[in-house]
Amino acid sequence: MIEVRLQLKYSGFALDVDLQLPGRGVTALYGHSGSGKTTCLRCIAGLERADDGFIRINDEVWQDSRRGLFVPPHKRALGYVFQEASLFPHLSVLANLQFGLKRIPRQQRRVDMAHATELLGIGHLLDRHPQHLSGGERQRVGIARALLTSPQLLLMDEPLAALDSKRKNEILPYLERLHDELEIPVLYVSHAQDEVARLADHIVLLSDGNALASGPIGETLARLDLPMALGDDAGVVINGTVSAYDSHYQLLTLQLPDSSLQIRVAHSPLDLGKHLRFKVQARDVSLSLQAEEYSSILNRLPVTVTQEIPADNSAHVLVRLDAGGTPLLARITRFSRDQLQLHPGQVLWAQIKAVAVLA
């Protein structure tokens, strides 16, 4: 368990958060620029000192202002990954990694060189210098160096923000491997919802120095009372289980959690029983009063209307749906809402293109 209570005031800005976060997995600190994400991260790292603060990482207390306790940054068992990798330019990749490894006594090391280089796919880069690496390669080396300090907590401050879309797509699978294969908890700062949806288990929504919400990502992204639901990239994250694969059409069938309902997605083959996270955008969900038998839309799920709010576009509304216990969001026009006579408790069909599911 991670406990973070921080109060910090600057001229024109105040941070005031009280968070109980999971002690494993990836927690995203999400919000617009200036919301307090990086300030919160810097306080946890000890680079900023909250006026009134309490920070506990599992069994270790790093700050307790009321007892006069403040552990300096260099004595906190954490790794910090910035937007830029900040590698030593005069050292090879191997020497940069050894710098992180040498900070930790041998008996306290939980991540070794071979594991870190394999996880991040950088074994072939060890003899190169930073100036001969791509942006994505430099960031992967920076992450590996942070892991080699065997941290109790890994802090990542918008590690993909400086990369173009190609480099982001290059590095995201490695971040997913860290999530799947390491037990080190990660606090991940980002303002990109798709990035957060792909990586995070838990999300904290920050705005003007306050936490508007904190909870599991699937539940939190589906809340209509939060500003995330109003954006064009609004949607829900679902963890499905592979139940079948059609090799001829390259379609994966995923079982929804605790439900008999299934959804198909264009995807490469995966083993039966494997869990796969996917996102369904609200703008990709259409609604119908009956199941369309002859349609190019492969996914037709029976759903119940639970809630509706106006969208950020006055011509649209956002509708929250229940699909056998799994929440979905649909963005439709007010005209369609009126034609369907939507109301809470109504049962109808949600339609989702297989090519629109982001897995």
What does the pLDDT average to over 260-286?
A: 93
What does the pLDDT average to over 131-155?
A: 92
**Mean pLDDT lowest among 232-236, 272-276, 292-296, 349-353:** 292-296
Predicted TM-score (pTM) of the model is 0.87
Tokens matching residue 328: 């979905």
User: CB 44: neighbour CB atoms within 10 A?
Assistant: 26
Query: Which residues lie closer than 8 Å to 261 by C-beta, 6 or more apart?
Result: 255, 301, 302, 323, 324, 326
**Per-residue pLDDT tens digits for 164-210:** 888 888 888 888 888 888 889 999 999 888 888 889 999 999 999 99
**CA–CA distance, 53 with 17 (Å, rounded to integer):** 10
**Per-residue pLDDT tens digits for 119-129:** 899 999 999 99
**CA–CA distance, 313 with 212 (Å, rounded to integer):** 22
**CA–CA distance, 264 with 148 (Å, rounded to integer):** 40
The pLDDT of residue 102 is above 90: no
The answer to whether 236 and 221 have CB atoms below 8 angstroms apart is yes
User: CB 154: neighbour CB atoms within 10 A?
Assistant: 21
The pLDDT of residue 9 is above 80: yes
**CA–CA distance, 115 with 346 (Å, rounded to integer):** 52
**Nearest residue to 191 via CA among 226, 154, 228:** 228
Strands (E), the chain: 2-10, 13-21, 26-30, 52-57, 60-64, 69-70, 78-81, 153-157, 186-190, 202-207, 210-216, 235-246, 251-255, 262-266, 275-281, 285-288, 299-310, 316-323, 326-333, 347-352
Residue 81: pLDDT band (50, 70, 90) is: very high
Helix (H, G, I), strand (E, B) or coil at 74: helix
Q: What is the DSSP string of 76-113?
A: S-EEEE-SS----TTS-HHHHHHHHHTTS-GGG-SS-H
Tokens matching residue 119: 């996880």
What does the pLDDT average to over 61-76?
A: 95
- Most distant CA atoms of the chain, gap in Å: 69
**CA–CA distance, 154 with 20 (Å, rounded to integer):** 17
Query: Which residues lie closer than 8 Å to 91 by C-beta, 6 or more apart?
Result: 99, 129, 130
Tokens 């939980």 sit on residue: 110
- Domains in the chain (CATH in brackets) are 2-230 (3.40.50.300), 235-356 (2.40.50.100)
The pLDDT of residue 350 is above 90: yes
The pLDDT of residue 94 is above 80: yes
